[in-house]
């Protein structure tokens, strides 16, 4: 049974009792069942969770990542967020496939594959995320490949500027930097370029090729932090160095430990900035998440991934979460790998939204 009701909101969510308040300036806590007692700094309604389920795979070449939102929902993720963490869920009970936005012909532009489709889809996603974020809700986007972050982060950035007059920070947890420009990309897959478009390092004038991105949608390289990098292209290394972008690779995690790395990442952002967490499941070692499009050995353990999410939640600054690149079709149905990857994705989301060990 779908956890959503007829109107697109989670069935029965309105029956939960909110925590007591004492006025306009009373604490705003995540989760109405008090699973989390972290006070939200930037959300007007932290008990409300906007869901955007994105079944899109056009930013890369392997089919199946579009099936991830359905797999995550069928695994019980949204029901857990409602019943165990106490969120009111808002959104749609169907996964968006965006077939109406995919043109019959979509030749490369500046080497980018499927540029018109990815641009049109991410533009719509930006609007969907914005609609939730402007209401003061936490937004959860279930992808989909990582190209969708062009839309999710653009929508969050615009909403936070309008609501609070603030720029957002982005914590990008990934094996890959995804900051290639069209000219530095070897593959032409846009899922390796979202950060370059979001920071303005890559720009386009025409709307059909990401020209719809304006300053209100963009982020500063000074408020961008990577965690978990271990497969970075030569052109991306140059971009990171030339722009002074804060990045923690697996070398840093091995050297300092995940706790110290997360402390340094959060210190770089500061404690007065809304945070958008964009988590690519391939940041985890394939031992924990094998069913993903570009697995790289030597990654995070599941506990390290959960710890990152738990730590970001505890800041009270979290305003949006992406989970991307789960691909349940890369393993046979009887292969436990797909099942374990979906389970890992669910765990990451729950930790980001307030689940704790005690």
Catalytic residue from among 9, 47, 145, 174:
174
Catalytic residue from among 109, 176, 217, 313:
176
β-sheet bridge partners, residue 88: 48
Residue 66: active-site member:
no
Residue 282: active-site member:
yes
Residue 217: active-site member:
no
Catalytic residue from among 252, 280, 310, 322:
280
Which stretches within 144-301 are classed as H helix? 149-164, 194-199, 234-242, 250-256, 258-269
Residue 178: active-site member:
yes
Residue 96: active-site member:
no
Residue 205: active-site member:
no
34 φ/ψ sector (left φ>0, alpha ψ -120 to 50, else beta): left
Closest by Cα among 169, 174, 153, 352 to 270: 169
* Sole residue written with tokens 């979906």: 342
Catalytic residue from among 96, 109, 191, 217:
191
Catalytic residue from among 9, 47, 282, 355:
282
Residue 306: active-site member:
no
Catalytic residue from among 146, 217, 276, 313:
146
If one counts every other C-beta atom within 10 angstroms of the C-beta of residue 242, the result is 10
Catalytic residue from among 47, 66, 145, 178:
178
Residue 146: active-site member:
yes
Closest by Cα among 55, 44, 26, 195 to 133: 44
Pairing mode, strands 275-280 and 318-324: parallel
CB within 8 A of 214, min separation 6: which ones? none
Catalytic residue from among 106, 233, 236, 325:
325
Which residues are tagged catalytic? 146, 174, 176, 178, 191, 280, 282, 325
């Amino acid at each position: 049974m779908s956890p959503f009701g007829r109107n697109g909101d989670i069935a029965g969510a309105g029956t939960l009792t909110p925590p007591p308040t004492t006025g306009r300036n009373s604490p705003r806590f995540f989760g109405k069942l008090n699973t989390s007692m972290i006070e939200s700094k930037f959300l007007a309604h932290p008990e409300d969770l906007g869901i955007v389920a994105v079944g899109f795979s056009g930013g890369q070449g392997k089919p199946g990542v579009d099936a991830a939102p359905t797999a995550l929902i069928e695994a019980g993720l949204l029901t857990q967020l409602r019943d165990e963490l106490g969120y009111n869920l808002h959104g749609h009970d169907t996964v968006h496939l965006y077939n109406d936005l995919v043109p019959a012909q979509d030749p490369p532009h500046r080497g980018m594959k499927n540029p018109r489709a990815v641009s049109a889809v991410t533009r719509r996603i930006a609007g969907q995320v914005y609609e939730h974020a402007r209401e003061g809700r936490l937004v959860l986007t279930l992808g989909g490949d990582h190209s969708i972050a062009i839309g999710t982060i653009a929508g969050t950035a615009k909403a936070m500027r309008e609501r609070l007059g603030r720029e957002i920070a982005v914590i990008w947890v990934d094996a890959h930097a995804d900051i290639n420009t069209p000219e530095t990309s070897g593959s032409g897959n846009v899922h390796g370029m979202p950060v370059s478009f979001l920071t303005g390092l890559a720009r386009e004038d025409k709307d059909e090729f990401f020209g719809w991105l304006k300053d209100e949608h963009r982020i500063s390289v000074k408020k961008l932090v990577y965690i978990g990098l271990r497969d970075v292209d030569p052109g991306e290394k140059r971009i990171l160095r030339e722009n002074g972008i804060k990045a923690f690779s697996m070398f840093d995690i091995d050297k300092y430990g995940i706790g110290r790395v997360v402390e340094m990442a959060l210190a770089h952002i500061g404690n007065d900035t809304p945070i958008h967490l964009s988590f690519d499941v391939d940041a985890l070692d394939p031992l924990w998440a094998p069913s993903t499009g570009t697995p790289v050995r030597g990654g995070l353990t599941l506990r390290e991934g959960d710890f990152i999410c738990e730590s970001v939640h505890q800041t009270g600054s979290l305003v949006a979460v992406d989970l991307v690149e789960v691909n349940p079709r890369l393993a046979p149905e009887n292969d436990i790998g797909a099942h374990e990857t979906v389970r890992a994705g669910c765990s990451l989301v729950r930790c980001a939204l307030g689940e704790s060990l005690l």
